[in-house]
Structure 1
Amino acid sequence: MHVPDGFLDAPTSVATAAAAAAAIGIALRGARRELDDRVAPLAGLVATFVFATQMLNFPVAGGTSGHLMGGALAAVLVGPYTGLLCMTVVLVVQSLLFADGGITALGTNVVLMGIVTVVVGHAVFRGVQLVVPKRLSMVAPAAALGAFVSVVLSSATFVALYALGGVIPIPLDTLLTAMIGVHTLIGLGEAAITFLVVASIVAVRPDLVYGARRVVAVRELETRLVAS
């Protein structure tokens, strides 16, 4: 999913860079409400984990490979604003030090792998939480579904950006079919990794998981009501 330099024209790259800058500015302000003595240390660990796992590819189909994007995972663990900042740090380091994604396409990659995956992943996660029982056992499945949907929609967003400013001549229907097909499989891998990570932390320290705090609060309230 890392977009290289020259794949999109200059106006599209500038527009995505502006969108990324605006989103980062909003995230910097919003993260103040999320960061506390529990989230702050975990944010560094999340960024490190996402960076490390993005460097590991797993085979998909037809000779292609995929890797964890991590936006939904970051949003569930440390909150959407802090999660976006974590993803931005990862993408900047990858672009500047490892040439993974073009420098001129950095804004595009932040939009695709940061904004879309975090916002969509968190929105799906919260939507599921609203309709399922308020149980800790449902946190990991909700996170996994958010991760899957975020990857597929991220690939669809890439196709939309290519339709606006793609430089290399590729038929849109071919590109859309290939991107959605491959990233559906990648999304399954993303969902599995997200499920395992979130479930592992929830089993030990649910209070550390930002997305589980509402469930923990409900459980504590129910416990107090029963005790009284």
Structure 2
Amino acid sequence: MHVPDGFLNIPTSVTTGVIAAAGVGLALRGARRELDDRTAPMAGLVAAFIFAGQMINFPVAGGTSGHLLGGALAAVLVGPWTGVLCLSVVLLVQGLVMADGGLTALGTNITLMGLVGVGVGWLVFRLVRGVLPTRLSMVPVAAAIAALVSVPTAALGFTALFGFSQLSDQWFDVPPTAPVPLGTVASAMVGWHVLIGLGEALITGLVVRSVVSVRPDLVYGARPALAARAASPSSEVTA
């Protein structure tokens, strides 16, 4: 999913850079409501886990690559705003130190994996959690479904940006920035990332389940279930 330098044209990269900067600015303010003395170290662990997971990177068709995104996982464990910051820090370090993802495309990568991945993951998690019973055991299930949906959605977002980049090249009558057919990129990104989403759903569900079983108080997405259990300690929400 890491977008390299030169794959999108300058207008598209500038636009996503502005969007990413605004999103990170909002996340810095929103994270103040999510973090405390207990959960702040958790954010560091989440960022480290996602950093390690994203290093397992494999190429797919159309000049693109696939790997763990971690947006839904971060949102469920530490909250959506803090999750955006975790992904942004990971992508910044990868771009500066590991040369993984171009610096001119940093805004694009943060927009896709940080804003779209985390945002969609959290929205789907909230929707699924509202349908399922209010139990701690349902938190990993909702997290897995959120991860499954967020990955191909982020890939679809990249496809839309690539299409806009090619269209704007035509508007300005300049050679295409990346001479790859849009259909090839779309089929590679969306098709492969549906499969990647299945793997990410499994990883996300297992990780969230592991943390919930030991320290549910550290899982941001488990707070409603914990509150329900505290209000009705003898009810079935304890399951």
Taking structure 1 as the reference length, the TM-score comes to 0.94
Q: 1:79 to 1:144 in 2, by over 3 A?
A: same
- What code does the residue aligned with 1:207 have? D
Which residues in structure 2 correspond to 1:1-228 (within 5 Å)? 1-57=1-57, 66-166=66-166, 167-223=177-233
Distance 1:65 1:175 in 2: 11
Partner secondary structure for residue 232 of structure 2: helix
The 1-side partners of 2:21 and 2:201 are apart by 28
Unmatched 5+ stretches in structure 2: 167-176
Cα separation, partners in 2 of 1:225 and 1:132, compared to 1, 3 Å: closer
CA distance in 2, matches of 1:52, 1:222: 39
User: Shift in Å at residue 175 of structure 1?
Assistant: 1.9
Distance across 2 between alignment mates of 1:38 and 1:69: 25
Deviation at 1:179, TM superposition (A): 1.2
Partner Cα separation in structure 1 for residue 102 and residue 11 of structure 2: 15
Q: Which runs of 5+ in 1 are unaligned?
A: none
Task: Give, as a single letter, the amino acid of the residue that structure 2 aligns with 1:23.
Answer: G
After superposition, the CA RMSD in angstroms is 1.8
C-alpha deviation, 1:58, in angstroms: 6.6
Q: Distance in 1 between matches of 2:186 and 2:51?
A: 27
Q: Which amino acid aligns with 1:160?
A: A
Letter of the aligned partner of 1:44 in structure 2? G
Q: Could you tell me which residue of structure 1 aligns to residue 172 of structure 2?
A: none
- Cα distance change of structure 1 residues 66 and 164 upon mapping to structure 2, 3 Å threshold: closer
4+ runs of 1 displaced by more than 6 Å? 58-61
Once residues 181 and 58 of structure 2 are traced to their aligned partners in structure 1, the CA distance between those partners, rounded to angstroms, is: 27
CA distance in 2, matches of 1:102, 1:65: 13
Q: Deviations over 1:174-207 (max 9, x none)?
A: 3212211100111111111101100000011111
1:200-223 C-alpha deviation (Å, 9 max, x unpaired) = 000111111000011100011012
- For residues 87 and 174 of structure 1, what CA distance do their matches in structure 2 show? 27
Q: Which amino acid aligns with 1:184?
A: V
**AA of the residue aligned to 1:129:** R
Partner Cα separation in structure 1 for residue 230 and residue 134 of structure 2? 12
Cα contact 2:229–2:235 (8 A) shared by 1: no
TM-score for both structures, normalised by structure 2: 0.89
Taking the aligned partners of 1:52 and 1:78, their CA distance within structure 2 comes to 18
